[in-house]
Amino acid sequence: MMALPLSPWLHGFRPVPASRRALVCFPYAGAGAAVFRDWALDVGPETDLLAVRLPGRESRIGEPPLHRVEEAVPALLAALEPLRDRPLILFGHSLGAALAYATARALAAHGRPPALLAVSGRRAPHRPSRRPPVDGLDDAAFRARLAALGGTPPEVLACDDLMELMLPMLRADFAMSDAFLEPDPPPLPVPILAIAGAEDAEATVEEVAGWERLAGAGFTRRTLPGGHFFLHEQRALIVRHLLGEGSRNTH
């Protein structure tokens, strides 16, 4: 039985005595590992469910947050080292997709490519953002941006004390997302599953389809109903796609 937690960077939701593979989930900006807790309801007994926990949130709230995707990769590689004996499915949503992609590329460079990279609600790495970076926004404008995205509960946005605590982490996460760009990425020797929300204005279906350019080992695209945070309403369907594609690429 795998000992959990593996590292401060990975949180496991339930022990799996004889897992055949691991599903590693990377959260969106401002979120922690807990956003994937309910996924345990849909992941079967053969799959370890693990979620990445970045510095600056949850049990790591006292640590300074990171501002670049590249800063997280070495620690993520070390955290995933105990899992090297089983196939990995990496799934990331929005900022998490950039983190999952960077981790997949580093794993491949070390001769340990994951069985599947699944990216959700994120433009392809060579596509620049259509929105201005958050660095130039004052706190009021930044809070308005959060409200427009829809991922932060209104009661949190309305609580000045809570927002004062969370703003450094949130700003760091958005800066991390804004700065991640690879103008001419080489193909990735990993199968890619790209998932888009049909009504997602933050990452359009066409922008998500751009991941095909990087797919050096097969590409699948799915479009699901919903806006930018469709992963919550479509959780069971997303898990089904992840495990189905992951199984296909481990035989």
Which pair of tokens denotes residue 147? 């409200």
Residue 72 backbone phi and psi in degrees, to 5: -85, -25
Residue from 11, 19, 177, 228 carrying the catalytic annotation = 228
How far is it, in rounded angstroms, from Cα 31 to Cα 96? 10
Run of H or E residues at 23: strand 21-26
Strands of 47-52's sheet, edge to edge?
A: 10-12, 47-52, 21-26, 88-93, 116-120, 192-197, 219-224
CB neighbourhood size of 81 (10 A): 12
Residue from 94, 120, 177, 241 carrying the catalytic annotation = 94
List the helix and strand counts (H, then E) for the chain.
8, 7
Q: Does 19 qualify as catalytic in the annotation?
A: no
Q: Are 230 and 224 in contact (CB under 8 A)?
A: yes
Q: Does 94 qualify as catalytic in the annotation?
A: yes
Catalytic annotation, residues: 94, 228
